[in-house]
Amino acid sequence: MSVSIPAPRSQRIDPKYKRGPKSHGSFEKLAWLFMRLSGVVLIVLIFGHLFTNLMVGEGISGISFGFVAGKWAALVWRVWDLVLLWLAMLHGANGVRTIINDYAEKHATRAWLKGILYVATIFIIVLGSLVIFTFDPCVTGSELAQCL
Amino acid sequence: MSKTSSGTLYRGHEGMWSWVGHRVTGVAIFLYLLVHVLDTAMVRVDANAYNAIISTYQTPWMAFGEVGLVAAILFHAFNGVRLILVDFWKQGTKYQRQMLWGVLIVWVIVLAAFTIRHLSIALGGH
Ligand code: HEM
Ligand code: HEM
């Protein structure tokens, strides 16, 4: 004489609020994992970036167009900066997305803020990538020896 | 979540403050990065324009701003490692408070070393 007891509240939830098997769940889980994996890699990339640009040689006083041209002459630093750009922007944008979800309570506000965030993020990633890929040591104003 | 809840073990204690610190530093670094990529893009337009922008970062006043930025990054990075350990290391939740002290100690030491080197370059006789 077993009685089957329905799960608590199972009759009271409108089906449209139920989490289906393909809800946002897997995206949020991947985003959570990405924050941690990118964080570990970013430590190496950012510490290396700050060390080469601020700690060795003349540090901040040594930075100029010539300094950047010197660094980007080596493929390693172009790849370094490209990966840094993508990981830091995606990690930061995903973090800010979480914060918008937490504090913007009106649906319309949330949608607007996230729209601005995504447009700005894509713009910066595309711009930064183009700058690395199309870098020209002999742009206007360059006084490097090989350009004169 | 209620906005007026009080009397928990979390609210107002170090667990909450480290979270606030992680959030604030994360947003600050993100905003810096947006400006930083725009600045660096000048390298593609005109070498002198890039040098002019960079020279605004090479003033004694901005040197303190750079120390502030690095302070934010170092806290976010070390506390980030702590968060990752809390999630993935079996003993993580048990030692999260001790790890926060570890984060603060390492932060002070690395930041002190950075500050000495950076300010002696930026403020030193050039
Ligand atoms: C005061 C501190 C900083 C200074 C002086 C600085 C300086 C520079 C310089 C000179 C470049 C040109 C290329 C190179 O040297 O590799 C550059 C590029 C770059 N930096 Fe920084 N940086 C600083 C902090 C940061 C931080 C905290 C991040 C990440 C969160 C970052 C991310 C990048 C990226 C992604 C690029 C490549 C930009 C592009 O694709 O056009 N930088 N930075
Ligand atoms: C230096 C290496 C870094 C490490 C180890 C790191 C680690 C982390 C971790 C573990 C989280 C928590 C994610 C979660 O709660 O699900 C996080 C959040 C965040 N990070 Fe980073 N991160 C780093 C660099 C950065 C950079 C460069 C930026 C900005 C461009 C940034 C911006 C953020 C933001 C905005 C959040 C969201 C904070 C929140 O939700 O309260 N982080 N970071």
A27-136 folds as 3 helical TM bundles of succinate and fumarate reductases (1.20.1300)
**What type of residue is A65?**
F
Domain ranges of chain A: 27-136
Residue B77: list chain A partners with CB under 8 A: 39, 42-43, 46-47
User: Is the pLDDT at B5 greater than 80, yes or no?
Assistant: no
Which residues from B are below 8 Å from A when comparing CB atoms?
A: 23, 26-27, 29-30, 33-34, 37-38, 40-41, 43-51, 54, 57-58, 63, 66, 70, 73, 77, 80-81, 83-84, 87-88, 114, 117-118, 121-122, 126
What letters, b where the CB count within 10 A reaches 16 and e where it falls short, cover B6-40? eeeeeeeeeeeebeebbbebbeebbebbeebbeeb
Angle between helix axes A107-133 and B14-41 (nearest 10 degrees) is 50
| pLDDT tens for the 148 residues of chain A, in order | 677 777 776 666 666 666 555 556 789 999 999 999 999 999 999 999 999 999 999 999 999 999 999 999 999 999 999 999 999 999 999 999 999 999 998 999 999 999 999 999 999 999 999 999 999 999 998 988 888 7
CB B66 within 8 A of CB B118: yes
Residue type, A43: I
In order of their start, the domains of chain B are 13-122 (1.20.1300.10)
Among the listed ranges A118-127, B13-22, B42-51, B59-68, which one has the minimum average pLDDT value?
B13-22
A49, A53, A60, A103: which to substitute to probe chain B, counting the most B Cβ within 10 Å? A60
Which residue's CA is the nearest one to ligand 1's atom 35? A85
- In whole angstroms, what is the distance from residue B120 CA to residue B16 CA? 35
Q: What is the dihedral of CA A71, A75, A79, A85, to 10 degrees?
A: 30
Distance in angstroms between the alpha carbons of the first and the last residue of chain A:
96
